A and B are shown apart, each in its own frame.
Chain A
Amino acid sequence: MIVGQQKPFDEIWEMVEGFKKILVYGCNTCVAICHAGGGKEAEILASMLRMKAAQEGVDMQIDSQAIERHCEPEFFEPLMEKVRTYDLVLSTACGVGVNFLSDRIGNIPVYPGINTTFFGAVPEAGFFVELCGGCGNCVLHLTGGICPVVRCSKSLMNGPCGGTDKGKCEVSSETDCAWFLIVERMKQLGQLEKLFEVQPPRDWSTGTHGGPRRVSLEHIQAYEAEEEKKTATEGK
């Protein structure tokens, strides 16, 4: 899932003050699970903003709304007309949602209410960890299922650096050394020798370094087009 954190309230206020009619727009998928931007959080944020507006003596209308997902048009299309009646959408979806809505909404600004932080998991309630960097060139079969790209502070591909201390990373004693974990895991799997081979320089162009990425599934696109044609013919 995508993990995010609500922006500091003062930063949000600085962004939105001056607008008259604001919609705090939540997303009930990933960012709801991490308690950053679901319907409940959008509602709380809206009421905090209303209180602040009252304190400051400014006249603002601040409403909240949430939909299931901000990353597919079918979820927000039914509400688009209502959304377009606002001066500003303060989205608490992840950055994907902010971009996606901004591309479609027309003449209204969409501002981010949260910082999108990482792809992660929830090992325990209220605790989230980054486990994948979305590099587009997965090597987890070589590293015991532990990602060196994002779990090693230096994205090293050939083993630990000299900064490992008692299994922890030089960046923080709270952070596990990914390579310490990888070595232990590979021992457990009886595959340590896989780590002895020198991994050559990587092609990072599959990651964010190759420009914006897309995935295009032609068979799905063709199927959808066919279905649409069928519906159109049946309708005649």
Chain B
Amino acid sequence: MKSGSNLERVIASGKPAVTAELGPPMSADPHEVIKKAGILKGFCDAANITDCQTAVVRISSIAAAYIAHQQGLEPVMQMTCRDRNRIAMQADLLGAAALGLKNCLCIAGDHQKFSAAGKLKGHPGAKNVYDVDTCQLVGIMKKMRDEGLQQGGDKLEVAPKFFIGASWTPMGDPMDFRPYNLKKKVDAGADFIQTQGIYDMEIFKSQMEKARNLGLHERTAILAGIIVPKSAMMLKYMDSSVAGVTVPKPLIDRMLKAKEAAGDDKKKMKELQEQEGIKITVELIQQALEIPGIKGVHIQAIEWETAMEPIVKAAGLYPRPTFDA
């Protein structure tokens, strides 16, 4: 075992892994993290704790991850390359490991200009860092863990033992380069991969075939990302405005049909679309898990954590495996 994390153990067991997502609040109040952790606990093997997602200030990933950890939910802390140089990154990794955190996902991070897609003020005038990129951060973490060395070469008395993750956008431009993009992250040392949300399984299958041809599925655990759709509007938005995400028309039509079935009843409209969204998610999970080389799913029920229980149960992924301490 590289880290001994629950996520690593589930993956090693050969059973499909399930990760979820927990977005920390724009608040100094820990209770929202505690509440979300309580909802997710038992329905995933670990939950990603996002790092100032959408380039908006929130409780830091490490602090929120520690709160979740105390609640008995295993966290995957996230670390973007946007806000820290390699000194701060490594210091935070030592601190996180000292607090008992065992999984870390490396990502570039939304550009500071994003500001929740313009819905919030954010800090578009902030200076970004990008001292290192995702591949390089993965490499730094691996060097710390496996060689007990900092990036600069100084020795670590006790090395931080992380299960190292990276993201992959299989359907992003330029698409023919994306399998090699993944290969670089694996070469750098990514133990697991969580993909961007997949709705178009056919394109994903062909990208996975290319990844398999490079032997990547044997060197890393690829978890297919599924973003739980809440409404037809959300699916349309994801299709038109989220980079690297395409939503096939039949899925949007299914959601529209569910919406229309409610007539003018707004409450029912929401209910029926949410039910359909859960159904679609379960189907996507099952399709993804059939793809050779897929070792699990990363289910993102964004600001809708209660959806995890029915999804995981309906997908036949409940109960989650447990291990002796």
Cα(A162)–Cα(B111), bound, Å: 11
Query: How many pairs of A and B residues are in contact by the CB < 8 Å rule?
Result: 103
Which B residue's beta carbon lies closest to that of A162? Answer: B169
Let me know if A191 is at the binding interface, CB within 8 A.
no
Q: Indicate if the CB atoms of A170 and B173 lie closer than 8 Å.
A: no
Chain A contacts for B187, CB-based, 8 A: 198
Segment among B178-186, B199-207, B285-293, B314-322 that sits at the interface with chain A: B178-186
Which A residue's beta carbon lies closest to that of B196? Answer: A162
Which of A177, A183, A192, A201 is the one whose CB lies under 8 Å from B86? Answer: A201
Chain B contacts for A145, CB-based, 8 A: none
Most buried by A among B81, B86, B243: B243
Given the known inter-chain contacts A157-B136, A201-B140, A204-B131, please indicate yes or no for A166 contacting B173, CB distance below 8 A. Answer: yes
Number of interface residues of A (CB under 8 A): 31
Let me know if B172 is at the binding interface, CB within 8 A.
yes
Q: Indicate if the CB atoms of A159 and B180 lie closer than 8 Å.
A: yes
Q: Indicate if the CB atoms of A164 and B140 lie closer than 8 Å.
A: no
Cα(A196)–Cα(B184), bound, Å: 7
Which of A164, A165, A166, A198 is the one whose CB lies under 8 Å from B188? Answer: A198
Number of interface residues of B (CB under 8 A): 36
Most buried by A among B81, B172, B173, B244: B173
Let me know if A137 is at the binding interface, CB within 8 A.
no
Which B residue's beta carbon lies closest to that of A152? Answer: B130
Q: Indicate if the CB atoms of A154 and B111 lie closer than 8 Å.
A: yes
Chain B contacts for A166, CB-based, 8 A: 173
Chain B contacts for A177, CB-based, 8 A: 173
Given the known inter-chain contacts A154-B133, A156-B133, A180-B174, please indicate yes or no for A164 contacting B243, CB distance below 8 A. Answer: yes
Cα(A204)–Cα(B169), bound, Å: 28
Most buried by A among B130, B133, B181: B133
Which B residue's beta carbon lies closest to that of A155? Answer: B130
A97 to chain B, nearest CB (A): 25
CB proximity to B under 8 Å, residues A183-236: 183-184, 192, 195-196, 198-202, 204
Q: Indicate if the CB atoms of B243 and A163 lie closer than 8 Å.
A: yes
Given the known inter-chain contacts A165-B244, A183-B174, please indicate yes or no for A171 contacting B111, CB distance below 8 A. Answer: yes
Which A residue's beta carbon lies closest to that of B168? Answer: A162
Let me know if A161 is at the binding interface, CB within 8 A.
yes
Chain B contacts for A179, CB-based, 8 A: 174
Which A residue's beta carbon lies closest to that of B173? Answer: A164
Cα(A37)–Cα(B117), bound, Å: 37
Let me know if B78 is at the binding interface, CB within 8 A.
no
For the complex, would chain B's binding face be called helix, strand, loop or mixed by DSSP majority?
A: loop
Let me know if B269 is at the binding interface, CB within 8 A.
no
Cα(A184)–Cα(B176), bound, Å: 10
Given the known inter-chain contacts A154-B128, A161-B108, A162-B196, please indicate yes or no for A198 contacting B172, CB distance below 8 A. Answer: no
Which B residue's beta carbon lies closest to that of A164? Answer: B173
A169 to chain B, nearest CB (A): 8
Which of B86, B130, B167, B172 is the one whose CB lies under 8 Å from A156? Answer: B130
Q: Indicate if the CB atoms of A171 and B113 lie closer than 8 Å.
A: yes
Which A residue's beta carbon lies closest to that of B177? Answer: A183
Given the known inter-chain contacts A162-B172, A177-B173, please indicate yes or no for A198 contacting B108, CB distance below 8 A. Answer: no
Q: Indicate if the CB atoms of A198 and B135 lie closer than 8 Å.
A: yes
B285 to chain A, nearest CB (A): 21
Which of B81, B173, B184 is the one whose CB lies under 8 Å from A165? Answer: B173
Chain B contacts for A154, CB-based, 8 A: 81-82, 108-109, 111, 128, 130, 133
Chain B contacts for A167, CB-based, 8 A: 173-174
Interface string of B145-188 (1 = CB under 8 A from A): 00000010000000000000001010011101100110110011
Let me know if B5 is at the binding interface, CB within 8 A.
no
4 additional A-B residue pairs with CB within 8 Å, beyond A158-B135, A202-B132: A153-B111, A155-B133, A196-B180, A198-B135
- Cβ contacts A to B, 23 pairs, < 8 Å: A154-B109, A156-B108, A157-B133, A158-B133, A158-B136, A158-B184, A159-B135, A161-B134, A162-B167, A162-B244, A163-B110, A164-B172, A164-B173, A164-B244, A177-B173, A180-B174, A195-B177, A196-B183, A196-B184, A198-B187, A198-B188, A199-B136, A202-B132
